[in-house]
């Protein structure tokens, strides 16, 4: 199964340091392969379970990203990561 969504990052520091750790930890909780890409900066896909990969796509405030998951829990993974972004990276 494949699931995907696009979301704008509103966090004041974008997807850097603390927010990236929260995002990566959430991604790691799913079995699916998950990639993220910065649509605003047209970056290549990055492994959403790797802090270095996530930081490498330099997501700033207001950037639009695409999250794509492939695997048995793909829909839950995309929904969970989108919710994490929309909740300003507050761990739940």
Token pair for residue 24? 């990566």
CB atoms closer than 10 angstroms to residue 30:
20
The two structure tokens encoding residue 89? 């990276």
Please, which residues bridge with residue 34 across strands?
Answer: 69
Q: Kindly give, in sequence order, each residue whose CB lies less than 8 Å from that of residue 51, ignoring residues fewer than 6 positions away.
A: 20, 21, 24
87 is catalytic: no
CB 80 within 8 A of CB 73: no
Q: What is the pLDDT of residues 1-53, one digit of tens each?
A: 999 999 999 999 899 989 999 999 999 999 999 999 999 999 999 999 999 99
Domains of the chain: 2-86 (3.30.1340.10)
Q: Which of 16, 33, 64, 66 is catalytic?
A: 16
Task: Please report which confidence band the pLDDT of residue 90 belongs to, taking 50, 70 and 90 as the band edges.
Answer: confident
pLDDT of residue 92 exceeding 60, the answer is no
pTM: 0.93
Band of pLDDT at residue 91, cut at 50, 70 and 90: low
């Amino acid at each position: 199964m494949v699931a995907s969504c696009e979301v704008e990052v509103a966090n004041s520091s974008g997807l850097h340091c603390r927010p990236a750790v929260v995002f990566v930890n959430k991604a790691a909780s799913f079995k699916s392969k998950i990639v993220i890409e910065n649509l605003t900066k047209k970056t290549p896909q990055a492994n959403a379970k790797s802090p270095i990969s996530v930081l490498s796509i330099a997501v700033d405030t207001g950037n639009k990203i695409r999250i794509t998951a492939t695997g048995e829990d793909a829909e839950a993974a995309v929904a969970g990561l989108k919710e994490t972004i929309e909740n300003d990276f507050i761990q739940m």
